[in-house]
Amino acid sequence: MNGTSLRCYKALKEVAEVANSALPPKKFLRSIAKSATKAINVDGCSVALKNTTGEHLVSISSYGLSDWYSRSSLLEQNHDLEQVMNGEVVFIPNARQDPRFQNSELVAREGMVSILSIPLTQRGEVIGALNVHSRTQREFSHAERDFLFAVGNLAVIASENIKLHDLMQQIPCDNTADDTALPKLTSSLASPPSFAHPSEKEFARLLDFYRIEWLYEPRSFPLQWEKDQAEEMFTPDFYLPAVNIYLEITTLKQKHQSDKNRKVRRLKKLYPEINIKLLNKKDYINILAKYGYGPLGQTTVQDIDRILFSENQIQERVRLLGEQISKDYANKQPLLIGILKGMFCFMADITRHITIPLSVDFMAISRYANDISGAVRITKDIEENITGKDILMIEDIVDTGMTLNYVLNYLSTHNPSSLHVCTLLDKKARRLINVPLTYKGFEIPDEFVVGYGLDYQDKYRNLPFIGVLRPELDKK
């Protein structure tokens, strides 16, 4: 038995013993994460469960990972959520370079490279994932994966036993309760934080709307001491990792605001390296706008049902696309061609991230009136001779593929040396013609999106994010 096998055997024994113990659920799951981390020699492990809507994985417990990383990384790994929820193992050898991973900055800040997600199943239904993280690029053997599956199964079984025990404690001993009187068997592990004030809950909803990473009351700061013991502590309401700022939300009552002002001043004096703001409702609307999230107009944002990709997500993805294009065209000088108007934000940003010589040109097209086939005509042709040149089409969104297919066929008649496509958004659900897409920013569902250059009735182009238009406004 080699070293890894021996460690896995000992870890399984430890997990089985802990599973039969009286540890609280979160401590039990952390013990499992710790055993898995040490057994296969990785840097961290987390246990995540689906939230109530099934849209996100919520970190329940972790070992070896910072709190903000274990929480926010799972919220942002939407690229693999569908695969995991289908019961598939997802392995990312290098999350900093993998095009599927839409938040490489996150893992870079934590120092992680390789990530492996193992689905957790309960009676055939996937309820979450066991995620392992490594700061060095590595592979995971079949034996290691089998070990993680076994650990995951033990975690699910033990969690069910804990919930069953809690349920049995609530059933009357005289057996007079009928089925309708029994409490529902639900898990509180993945429940959202219990906010101390409605204003905090409102602010959290706003942060979620703009897809901003947040942690609720993540750290307490000692403000006064008595004989080396902290006599007064201050716990800011929120921390936003993306902009490295703590936020304390105030109420309208002056006595509360004055006390918080005193604590904030004290904290700034004792911890000058900490960035903290005291905000009322008007203030936190303004601070979101300052960091590029807030509304450009209240009416405009009210038209948005939800945000698909925040400004930070878009800029990070565009940066990675620019790096990849620079690498692929290292010994060439590509000509970037954009189709007006929707791509103007994307094209302006991606050219700034391409580090090799390039040139640009533009086309404009329109559909023939009353033509349901989607036929198009060119209203502005390219100005450069593209024969023998390396052409990279820059698109804002590809849905049916009919327009792009027409343009590609047209450009091909000019005999370029190469012809590829880079699109910010790929709406596969609407595809009618299978056009080749060499570079893709994000895949999106079949919904009408606006922002970052995309419009509806020539509005919303200047929104810094990409959002879904409210259904009642979608007249397409």
Catalytic residues, which ones?
399
3-state secondary structure of 60: strand
Return the structure tokens found at 245.
Answer: 């700022």
Tell me 308's DSSP state.
E
Determine the residue type at 331: N
Residue whose tokens read 């370079």: 97
Tally of residues, the chain: 476
3-state secondary structure of 103: coil
**Is cis: bond before 341, omega within 30 of 0?**
yes
Handedness of CA 284, 289, 293, 299 (dihedral sign): positive
Return the structure tokens found at 240.
Answer: 């936003």
Return the structure tokens found at 353.
Answer: 């991230």
Q: Nearest-CA neighbor of 288 among 261, 319, 311, 259? A: 311
Q: Nearest-CA neighbor of 129 among 76, 71, 72, 90? A: 90
d(CA 402, CA 343): 17
Tell me 59's DSSP state.
E
Helix or strand run (H / E) with residue 31: helix 25-39
d(CA 72, CA 106): 8
Chain centroid, CA 419 distance in Å: 32
Return the structure tokens found at 18.
Answer: 């802990």
HSE at residue 309, side-chain half, CA atoms within 13 A, is: 24
> Could you give the maximum distance between any two Cα atoms of the chain, in Å?
89
d(CA 476, CA 470): 12
Residue whose tokens read 């989607």: 374
Tell me 377's DSSP state.
E
Q: Nearest-CA neighbor of 347 among 358, 407, 101? A: 358
Q: Nearest-CA neighbor of 76 among 126, 115, 40, 39? A: 115
Helix or strand run (H / E) with residue 225: strand 221-226
3-state secondary structure of 41: coil
